[in-house]
Amino acid sequence: MQPELAAAVEYIRQHTAHVPAVGIILGTGLTHLADDIEISTTIPYEQIPHFPVSTVETHTGRLLFGHLAGKPVVAMQGRFHYYEGYSMPQVTFPVRVMKLLGIRVLLISNAAGGLHPDHELSDLMVISDHINLQPDNPLRGPNDTTLGVRFPDMLDAYDQDLRKLAHRVAHEEGFPLQEGVYVSVPGPNLETPAEYRFLRTIGADAVGMSTVPEVIVARHMDLPVLAVSVITDLCAPGKLKKISIAEVLQAARDAEPKLRTLFRRMVGAMT
């Protein structure tokens, strides 16, 4: 194991005996799922050796250990992005730490622009596949065979059984759940109309600035993933307009009750 990972894991284990089974990454404007967790230990990122620190205003920057729907979880209240100036290994460092702490499943949420013409504000979209337009890959460089293989297969990057469970929960709870392809771009600027058209043309249903690096590293470590995008702005022709961060956050808040229900019930159904 890399010494930086070992140091982070050792520090966390010194501060909590909690062994999480599920890891959760809370995206932009989606941190109130933490209210559903019976928290036993909170560790600020800045206290963990080699852990990055959130620089985005809406990302609190804490690891939360506790129980959700009776299951042991660890939640990242704030994530990291390439546009913040971090390297891809730094962006994905927490995923490796959570896996080494014991998680067997990773749930990811993000805020995304809706490219599909059927999307509406505050829709939830289960990610079925992705297109990686980030300028770097977290696996570039020497491969640590203690973490994963040199050439991980991404055919089933987003676990089919978890996606089926998500759809069943949404159906039972009575809210619509979209499914589609997510494209990850560097950011931090939003895209031009021509870029939105291009992204739609190459097969994307939603666009954002995160998630794909974390998924690559999770699959490198053979960790099953479910990822859900909250559609916080509309980018299809005829729906595109200028958007502010305040409007993005409001759309995320409007969707959060559905996302909280979805994640809570999914965690409760896991064995």
Whole-number percent of the chain with pLDDT over 70: 97
CA distance 239 to 118: 10
- Please report which confidence band the pLDDT of residue 58 belongs to, taking 50, 70 and 90 as the band edges: low
Express each pLDDT in 205-261 by its tens digit.
999 999 999 999 999 999 999 999 999 999 999 899 998 889 988 999 999 999 999
Among 47-61, 73-87, 212-226, the range with the most confident prediction by mean pLDDT is: 212-226
CA distance 76 to 36: 14
Identify the pLDDT of residue 190: 94
- Please report which confidence band the pLDDT of residue 113 belongs to, taking 50, 70 and 90 as the band edges: very high
Residue in 130, 148, 131 with CA at minimum distance from that of residue 227: 130
Q: Is the pTM of this model over 0.85?
A: yes
- Please report which confidence band the pLDDT of residue 57 belongs to, taking 50, 70 and 90 as the band edges: low
Give the β-pairing of 225-234 and 124-132: antiparallel
Pick the CATH number of 3-269 from 3.40.50.300, 3.40.50.1580, 3.40.50.360, 1.10.3210.10: 3.40.50.1580
Mean pLDDT of the chain: 94
What is each CA distance from 231 to 47, 121, 134, 184, 236, in whole angstroms?
Answer: 33, 6, 20, 14, 12
Identify the pLDDT of residue 56: 62
CA distance 160 to 16: 32
Identify the pLDDT of residue 95: 98
Q: Give me 18's structure tokens.
A: 């909690």
Decide if pLDDT at 146 tops 90.
yes
Decide if pLDDT at 1 tops 70.
no
Identify the pLDDT of residue 102: 97
